[in-house]
Structure 1
Amino acid sequence: MQHNPPPLPSLTDRISDAAFRAMMSVARALPYERRVPMVGWIVSRLIAPVAGYRRRIRRNLALTFPGMPHDKVEHLVRAVPDNIGRMVAEIYSGEEFLRRVRDLPLEGPGAAALEAAHAANRPVIIAAGHFGNYDAWRGALTGRGYPVGAIYRPMDNVLFNNHYVEAISAIAKPLFARDKDLRDMLRFLRSGGMVAFGFDQYFRKGAPLTFFGLPAKTPTSAAEMALKLGCDLIPIYAIRQPDGLSFRIITEAPVPHTDADTMTQALNDQLEAQIRAHMDQWLWVHRRWKDVKGG
């Protein structure tokens, strides 16, 4: 079968990738404690206004929290991109980042379920939102010897995608490209692997569930896979701490097996509770509510 070659990077792709590489080259020359907040500041103060992040955050907050005071909105307009920048700096810090997260304790009722599944060589579906730093818990699970894989969506900018995949592979692997590596993922799960599924981005063919009380098309693939394999579906979060550099790893109890929509709504509800407690740590730059007027 003949495969079409990937499209050549555009000039915009080349410029944006070169700018990112230059930023990270400067950042990596700094000590970790300075590098992470510096990249957070750059993304928050310089990149976010140009990339439209601030506009998107304000729009999403207007939908979900219409009565939020102006000063709190403006705080989140700065704090959300700061968390994004810190996360990027951490991911690209490789072993320095892993040393800080691999021995973190797993808190919450899901920790025992993960340990039991690993001991019995049973698969686990991990439900992961774009919250805190979702690679911190990957490093913590890998540090325990748990076999942790993840599904990722290849970036449109192939230049950026190449080094991004390399960076996240250094934290934990295998990685499975969405819509391409299903057979490999199933084989890994059936061998006792744990695979992280995202569920908090808009999915046009998703179930008409709710998130923050609004209609939100949500992928149900995590619940469907857990039902298919008869395995645990466990939500997990890496919550950034007030120092801006450390994390707590929180695990929820396995979601009871019912049907895919009910289980996925439980994931939405639990993630919403975490976001309400840590508003600056979710990626409010997503167009999560496309079917809502103003979204």
Structure 2
Amino acid sequence: MMPPRPSLPKRLLDRLRYMAFRALLAGLSVLPFSPRVRAFGWLTVHVIAPLAGYRRRVRRNLSMVWPDMGGAERQALTSRTLDNFGRTVMENFCHADLGRHLQGTALEGDGLATLEKARRDKRPVLFVSAHFGNHEVPRHLLAAQGDRIGGIYRPFTNPHFDDHYRRTLASVGGTVFVQGREGTVGFARYLQGGGWGILFYDLHQPRGDVLDFMGLPARTATSAAKLALKYDAALVPWFGIRQPDGLRFRAIIEAPIPPDDPVTMTRVLHARLEARIADHPEQWMWVHRRWKSHEKALRTGVPLLRD
């Protein structure tokens, strides 16, 4: 069954927002890549995030996770988070420039030996990552050495942004599967055939298991672990960690998650991400409503029971 067509005002508003964004990209395109990235980070902090409500959302998330954090520290961390968010958006929409910028960046980490063995054995690899630093950096570097990384992505509600970003993902290398039943089946077949793919595990999943994340209960998808177990795929976390200059990256391929039951494996993934956030708290995208069910539980007084 096809979803209902949006109303005419909604379609017009979506188009106007996309046209405004494209006009902004065109205006910034006169700048070299690095100043362009810095400029969009600044615009996100001072203009886009306040208008979109992102600053308020980041502060709310930080106050839930670290209630004892001082107001000035929370404000500063919010600004640094939004700067990373804006830089990442610009980098990923200007994917060709990002690819050239990353030339000379090396993949590193304990998981590289796992990838080499998987290539020899033609074994599927399921990468798992979070919206941390720039999560697309390792994909660029793997694509540059000939690896194809497919993935499922969550469509934008604005179809113009969605079409643009889907083409961006496909151009980096790998088949793009849209979130939903058909996309999930296609992605599963892709892994079954020995493909390499990527899933993200740090977004709110309405029907997910309730697992601790950053000390709070969060509904979490365990599908990555389930798929890895079903298709004997190595479950390998990656991270693109932004460096202090705000422009360079370390691309880390971590050691694979040992096979276990899906909930235990996902808890290990949470622990890996929590360790990265402890080192670089501004690099996780606190703009997401990760604890949406927990917030509802606080409002209603009905506790969210952990699995």
TM > 0.5? yes
1:173-188 equivalences under 5 Å are 173-179=174-180, 180-188=182-190
Query: What do residues 47-82 of structure 1 show as CA deviations (whole Å, max 9, x unaligned)?
Result: 111111111111111110111122221112211111
- Equivalent residue of 1:170, what SS? helix
Change (3 A) 1:34 1:116: same
- Equivalenced residue count is 294
Find the counterpart in structure 2 of residue 74 from structure 1. Answer: 75
Q: Which residue of 2 aligns with 1:203?
A: 205
Shift of 1:6: 5.0
Distance in 1 between residues matched to 2:64 and 2:164, nearest whole Å: 35
d(CA) in 2 for partners of 1:114 and 1:37? 33
Does residue 219 of the first structure (1) align with residue 232 of the second (2)? Answer: no
Whole-Å separation in 2 of the counterparts to 1:36 and 1:206: 35
Do the aligned partners of residues 4 and 265 (structure 1) sit closer, same or farther apart at CA in structure 2, a change above 3 Å counting? closer
Matches within 5 A, 1:270-281: 270-281=272-283
Listed as ranges, the matches of 1:73-222 within 5 Å are 73-101=74-102, 103-179=104-180, 180-222=182-224
**TM-fit CA distance, 1:103:** 4.7
Offset of residue 292 of structure 1: 2.3
| % identical equivalent positions | 41
1:258 to 240, 257, 260: 260
Quote how far apart the aligned CAs of 1:274 are.
0.3
Deviation at 1:5, TM superposition (A): 7.3
After TM superposition, the structure 1 stretch with the greater mean CA deviation from structure 2, 86-95 or 6-15, is 6-15
| 1:239 counterpart residue number | 241
Q: Deviations over 1:231-259 (max 9, x none)?
A: 21011100001111111011221111110
Which has the higher mean CA deviation after the structures are superposed, 163-172 or 233-242? 163-172
The Cα of 1:206 is off from its aligned counterpart by 0.6
Partner residue, 2:60: 59
Shift of 1:102: 5.4
Whether the 8 Å CA contact 1:152–1:175 is kept in 2: the answer is yes
- Aligned-partner SS, 1:265: helix
Question: When the two structures are superposed, what TM-score results if normalisation uses the length of structure 2?
Answer: 0.91
Map Cα deviations across residues 182-228 of structure 1 (whole Å, 9 max, x no partner).
33322322332211111101111111110011101100010000010
For each residue in 1:73-127, what CA deviation from the matched residue of structure 2 results, as whole angstroms up to 9, or x when unmatched? 1112211111111111111223221123355222221111112112221101111
- Cα pair 2:134 2:240 within 8 Å, conserved: yes
Comparing 174-183 with 236-245, which one deviates more in the overlay? 174-183
Kept in 1: contact 2:153–2:179 (CA 8 A)? yes
> Distance between the aligned counterparts of 1:285 and 1:226, measured in 2?
29
Change (3 A) 1:187 1:102: farther
In 1: Cα distance, 2:208 partner to 2:127 partner? 18
Q: Deviations over 1:138-159 (max 9, x none)?
A: 1011112112111101111101
The whole-number CA distance in structure 2 between the counterparts of 1:171 and 1:60 is 32
Letter in 2 for 1:112: A
Report SS of the residue matched to 1:239. strand
Unpaired runs of at least 5, structure 1: none
Counterpart Cα distance in 2 of 1:201 and 1:103: 31
Please state how far the C-alpha of 1:4 moved relative to its aligned partner: 5.8
Q: Determine if contact 1:83/1:281 at 8 Å carries over to the other structure.
A: yes
Letter in 2 for 1:152: Y
Instruction: Describe the shift of the 1:190–1:102 C-alpha distance in structure 2 as closer, same or farther (beyond 3 A).
Output: farther
User: So what's the TM-score if we normalise by structure 1?
Assistant: 0.94
Q: Tell whether the 8 Å contact from 1:118 to 1:146 is kept in structure 2 after alignment.
A: no
For structure 2, list consecutive stretches of 5 or more residues without a partner in the other structure.
300-307
* 1:3 CA drift (Å): 4.7
Pairing 1:45–2:35 present = no
